[in-house]
Amino acid sequence: MSSTLLNTKDISRAVSRISHEILERNRGAGNIALVGIRTRGVVLSQRLKEQIEEIEDVTVDHGVLDITLYRDDLAAGIQKPELKKTDISFALEDKHIILCDDVLFTGRTIRAAIDALMDFGRPSSVQLAVLIDRGHRELPIRPDYVGKNIPTAKSKRVQVLFNEEDGEDKVIIQEQSN
């Protein structure tokens, strides 16, 4: 049982709106850098980067963060996800970092990502962009840019599919299978 919340067009409209919001709030792309959280946060960050570069005609720094090593549930005996590379090859100092993820849920991933970022340097600020905010926060974390707010039951599963990873663009909501 699954139903579609956003289709290809909805996603692309949300991405362009967020791009404009980022530029408006930071007064251009001068000091910003985009960092995507693996796996689908990276896709979102790349799309935002393309849009922002097109609007402003500049190059924006881009990085990739794997937060596996910063998770708070590693010791809990949960199957570990495969560890992939982190790649942040620019200095964070004096930059406004736009952290990107597909779905914002408990906030624990973002906590881990902020910890990881701080090990690379001291950015001027960290802002959070997500495609979906589904609520149920367990930590005091809020997004700065949201594609769509979707109130959900905690048992439901929200899944973002991106062309680059999954062959199509859409957001679906499902009953948990187990």
* Contact partners, residue 106, CB within 8 Å, separation at least 6: 136, 137, 138, 139
Q: How far apart are the first and last CA of the chain?
A: 13
Neighbours of 75 (CB within 10 A): 7
Q: Which of 29, 36, 61, 66 binds another protein (CB under 8 A)?
A: 66
Identify residues 27-56 at the interface with another protein (CB under 8 A).
none
Whether residue 101 contacts residue 48, with contact meaning beta carbons closer than 8 Å, is answered with no
**Contact flag: residue 74 with another protein (CB under 8 A):** yes
Residue 132, token pair as written in the block? 């979906």
Q: Which of 54, 87, 94, 138 binds another protein (CB under 8 A)?
A: 87
**Contact flag: residue 79 with another protein (CB under 8 A):** yes
Rounded to the nearest 10°, the torsion over CA 109, 111, 116, 122 is 140
- Shortest distance, CB of residue 81 to another protein, whole angstroms? 8
Residue 38, token pair as written in the block? 């693996």
Identify residues 102-121 at the interface with another protein (CB under 8 A).
115-116, 119-121
- Shortest distance, CB of residue 42 to another protein, whole angstroms? 15
Q: Would you say 50 or 115 has its CB closer to another protein? A: 115
Candidate segments 13-21, 61-69, 97-105, 136-144, binder of another protein by CB under 8 A: 61-69
Kindly write out the interface string for residues 119-158 of this chain, putting x where it contacts another protein by CB under 8 A and - elsewhere. Answer: xxx-------------------------------------
Q: Would you say 1 or 75 has its CB closer to another protein? A: 75
Report the amino acid identity of residue 122.
R
* Contact partners, residue 75, CB within 8 Å, separation at least 6: none
Residue 109, token pair as written in the block? 């991933």
Instruction: Give the number of residues in contact with another protein, rule: CB under 8 A.
Output: 21
Report the amino acid identity of residue 136.
H
